[in-house]
């Protein structure tokens, strides 16, 4: 019996490894293509390793477009949005789990229901509102639009449910106010959920294309995704350079994910099981 279980687990691990390698093939092709000459990117038969590695492709793309400006703009939007969304989501999740008030569950249900509403439905009213406020073609407009997240509140609330209410009650007896309980007890215990939300928010904002495309018109305010699109429109046949720019845009996301990977797994597991 144990031998069959070990064989079954071994087969599952082999399949998972093969599936992981299969999913990594497009990323490998992108990286390798960024080190080739343009004529060799779509060569037949395909070369899985270039005859000569051309690192100068990465130097060229930084000269062709102001990628430094685009990177700084994207980093500004991503970091500000992530920090604000973490703060608002954690506060709202604490209110929906550790405090009691009339209509709490109904309000939470109505708020979470907005996750099911596609962005395309309220895209035009949102654009009109931002324009009326005079925040069109500004970074602050994009940041404010993404400062609140129903998904973030739901994710962190599911984790906060697992924190015993007795800890909060004991803190209240000791004289801590609600903000003290939140900042000293609940917030430190919620690091896995915060790491999970950080990865989701950082990735979504960093890779966002439609939002900046609609609201940002000035070249000096555009993000890396719009920069790559400009690059493609100007150098559409230079696929090696395009791949090099894509690899550069992917690096910050990979760094953030690897930094939060441990907490990410814990947060997904706890948020999916508890509640």
Tens of pLDDT along 182-230?
888 888 888 888 888 898 899 999 988 888 998 988 888 999 988 888 8
CATH architecture designation of domain 55-273: Orthogonal Bundle (1.10)
The residue to which tokens 């449910």 are assigned: 161
Q: What is the pLDDT of residue 73?
A: 93
The residue to which tokens 């890779």 are assigned: 207
Q: What is the pLDDT of residue 267?
A: 53
Cα gap 110→43, rounded to integer Å: 54
Positive or negative, the Cα torsion across 90, 188, 255, 155?
negative
Q: What is the pTM of this model?
A: 0.81
How much is the average pLDDT of 252-272? Answer: 70
Residue 206, CB-side half-sphere exposure with 13 Å CA sphere:
22
Q: Is 177 helix (H, G, I), strand (E, B) or coil?
A: coil
Q: Look up residue 52 and give its two tokens.
A: 């000569």
Map out the domains of the chain as residue ranges: 55-273
Going from the C-alpha of 254 to that of each of 101, 125, 212, 218, 261, the distances in angstroms are 41, 34, 22, 28, 10
Q: What is the pLDDT of residue 43?
A: 74
Q: Is 67 helix (H, G, I), strand (E, B) or coil?
A: helix
Instruction: Decide which of 205 and 267 is more confident.
Output: 205
Cα gap 148→273, rounded to integer Å: 24
Nearest to 147, CA basis, from 219, 95, 196, 78: 78
């Amino acid at each position: 019996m144990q031998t069959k279980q070990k064989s079954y687990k071994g087969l599952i691990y082999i399949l998972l490894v093969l599936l992981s390698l299969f999913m990594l093939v497009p990323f490998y092709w992108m990286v390798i293509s960024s080190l080739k000459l343009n004529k060799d990117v779509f060569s037949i038969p395909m070369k899985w390793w270039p005859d000569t590695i051309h690192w100068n492709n990465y130097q060229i793309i930084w000269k062709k477009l102001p990628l430094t400006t685009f990177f700084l703009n994207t980093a500004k939007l991503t970091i500000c949005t992530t920090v604000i969304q973490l703060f608002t989501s954690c506060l709202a999740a604490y209110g929906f789990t550790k405090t009691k008030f009339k209509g709490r569950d109904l309000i939470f249900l109505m708020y979470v229901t907005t996750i099911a509403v596609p962005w395309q439905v309220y895209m035009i009213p949102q654009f009109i509102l931002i324009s009326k406020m005079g925040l069109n073609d500004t970074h602050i407009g994009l940041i404010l639009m993404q400062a609140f997240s129903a998904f973030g509140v739901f994710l962190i609330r599911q984790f906060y449910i697992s924190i015993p209410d007795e800890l909060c009650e004991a803190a209240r007896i000791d004289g801590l106010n609600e903000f003290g309980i939140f900042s000293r007890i609940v917030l430190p215990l919620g690091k896995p959920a915060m790491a999970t939300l950080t990865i989701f928010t950082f990735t979504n904002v960093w890779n966002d294309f439609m939002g900046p495309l609609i609201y940002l018109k000035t070249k000096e305010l555009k993000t890396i995704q719009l920069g790559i699109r400009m690059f493609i429109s100007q150098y559409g046949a230079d696929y090696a350079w395009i791949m090099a720019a894509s690899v550069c845009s992917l690096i910050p996301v990979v760094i953030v994910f690897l930094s939060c990977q441990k907490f990410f797994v814990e947060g997904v597991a706890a948020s999916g099981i508890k509640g």
